[in-house]
């Protein structure tokens, strides 16, 4: 799993937990400090609740820092089209793809999405033309 995908998943989990805590649900963390694993933490029963509370001993913990969000368009395509998009990205000084997520997904810059579609259509026309010419020569 890529770093950005993992950070996005953590953000969603954190927002869900904060919303649940605001509604008064028991058992969710109350601060960013609770997200950090601290070996000196111990679980103790709460006085007026059935849930467990975390008691921290006096040891330093790291601070949870929100990752920077990047706006983009999530593109899903087959590996052959992805290879063409990567070639177009290389020809344009790596100015189109924000992140290559996996074999079928990538994050594209918002302002370059229309340009990419236009360049991809041109590249596919050239590829189809080359395939037709090579099949015509064999016959």
Q: Could you tell me the mean pLDDT of each successive run of 10 residues in the chain, 139 residues long?
A: 70 62 46 45 48 53 73 93 94 93 93 94 87 68
pLDDT number for residue 99: 92
HEC-encoded secondary structure of 74-112 = EEECCHHHHHHHHHHHHHCCCCCEEEECCCCEEEECHHH
Q: Contact at 8 Å (CB) between 120 and 80?
A: no
pLDDT number for residue 62: 62
Residues 41 and 82 grouped into a single domain: no
pLDDT number for residue 126: 86
pLDDT number for residue 23: 46
**Residue 64: inside a domain:** no
pLDDT number for residue 135: 74
Residue 134 to residue 126: CA distance in whole angstroms: 12
The count of domains in the chain is 2
Residue 91 to residue 114: CA distance in whole angstroms: 16
> Can you tell me which residue has the tokens 């949870």?
64
**Residue 128: inside a domain:** yes
pLDDT number for residue 115: 94
SS3 of residue 33 by DSSP: helix
pLDDT number for residue 119: 95
Token readout for 134 is 């090579």
Count of residues for the chain? 139
Residues 87 and 126 grouped into a single domain: yes
Residue 25 lies in domain: 3-55
Residues 51 and 81 grouped into a single domain: no
pLDDT number for residue 35: 45
């Amino acid at each position: 799993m890529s770093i950005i995908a993992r950070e996005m998943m953590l953000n969603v989990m954190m927002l869900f937990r904060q919303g649940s805590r605001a509604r008064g649900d028991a058992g969710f963390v109350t601060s960013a400090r609770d997200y950090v694993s601290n070996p000196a933490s111990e679980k103790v029963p709460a006085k007026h609740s059935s849930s467990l509370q975390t008691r921290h001993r006096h040891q330093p913990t790291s601070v949870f820092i929100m990752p920077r969000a990047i706006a983009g368009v999530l593109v899903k395509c087959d590996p052959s089209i992805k290879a063409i998009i990567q070639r177009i990205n290389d020809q344009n000084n790596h100015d189109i793809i924000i992140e290559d997520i996996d074999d079928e997904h990538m994050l594209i810059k918002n302002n370059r999405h229309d340009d990419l579609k236009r360049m991809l259509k041109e590249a596919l026309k050239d590829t189809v033309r080359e395939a037709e010419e090579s099949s015509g020569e064999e016959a």
